[in-house]
Structure 1
Amino acid sequence: MTEFTEVVHSIRAGSLTAEQASADYADLRSAIGELAGLVADCGGLVELLTDVAAFAVRAIPGADGAGVTLLRVDRTDNLVEALAASASFVAEIDKIQYETLHEGPCITAALERRTVRSGSLGGEQMWPRFGPRVGRLGVHSALSLPLLLPDRVVGAINVYARDKNVFGEHAVELGELFAKPAAVAVRNAQILAQARTLAAQLQTALSTRPVIDQAIGLLRGRSGSSAEDAFTQLRAISQAEHRKLGEVAQRIVDEAVRRAIARHNPV
Structure 2
Amino acid sequence: MHHTGREGRLAAALVEAADTLTETFDTADYLRRLSDHCVELLAARAAGVMLIDGGEAVSLAGSSRREEMALDLLAAQQGGGPCLESYGSGRAVPPVSIDVAHAAARWPEFTERALRHGIVSTFAVPVRRRETLLGALNVFVPALPNGGPDGGGSELMVAQALADAVGLGLQNHRAYAQHRSLAGQLQEALSSRVRIEQAKGMLAERWGTGTDEAFVVLRGYARRNRLPLDRVARAVIERSLDDTELTGP
Percentage of matched positions with identical amino acids: 19
1:67 aligns with 48
Q: Distance in 2 between matches of 1:115 and 1:137?
A: 20
Q: Distance in 1 between matches of 2:136 and 2:59?
A: 12
Deviations 1:36-82 (A, max 9, x none): 42145566363443332222223324x1011133444xx13x44467
Q: For residues 140-179 of structure 1, what are the structure 2 equivalents within 5 Å? A: 140-147=120-127, 151-161=131-141, 163=142, 166-167=144-145, 168-169=148-149, 172-179=152-159
Given the superposition, is the C-alpha separation of residues 148 and 201 from structure 1 closer, same or farther in structure 2, using an over 3 Å criterion?
A: closer
Give 3-state SS (helix, strand or coil) of 1:260's partner.
coil
Q: Which has the larger radius of gyration?
A: 2
Q: Distance in 2 between matches of 1:193 and 1:45?
A: 10
Given the superposition, is the C-alpha separation of residues 262 and 85 from structure 1 closer, same or farther in structure 2, using an over 3 Å criterion?
A: farther
Deviations 1:103-130 (A, max 9, x none): 3211111212231423236556221233
The gaps in structure 2 that reach 5 residues or longer are 197-214
Query: What amino acid is aligned across from residue 197 of structure 1 in structure 2?
Result: A
| 1:60–1:174 Cα contact (<8 Å) kept | no
Q: Distance in 2 between matches of 1:199 and 1:94?
A: 32
| 1:106–1:157 Cα contact (<8 Å) kept | yes
Query: What amino acid is aligned across from residue 124 of structure 2 in structure 1?
Result: S
Deviations 1:138-180 (A, max 9, x none): 445322123466534443221113x4x5344475212222134
How many residues align? The count is 211
Taking structure 2 as the reference length, what is the TM-score of the superposition?
Answer: 0.62
Q: Distance in 1 between matches of 2:229 and 2:46?
A: 49
Give 3-state SS (helix, strand or coil) of 1:129's partner.
helix
Given the superposition, is the C-alpha separation of residues 136 and 224 from structure 1 closer, same or farther in structure 2, using an over 3 Å criterion?
A: closer
1:222 CA drift (Å): 3.0
Which of 90, 94, 111 is 1:131 aligned to?
111
When structure 1 is superposed on structure 2, of 116-125 and 46-55 the one drifting more is 116-125
Which of 175, 183, 192 is 1:195 aligned to?
175
Taking structure 1 as the reference length, what is the TM-score of the superposition?
Answer: 0.59
Given the superposition, is the C-alpha separation of residues 218 and 252 from structure 1 closer, same or farther in structure 2, using an over 3 Å criterion?
A: farther
Deviations 1:198-255 (A, max 9, x none): 133123303432576579x789833999xxxxxxxx9xx9xxxxxxxxxx77667678
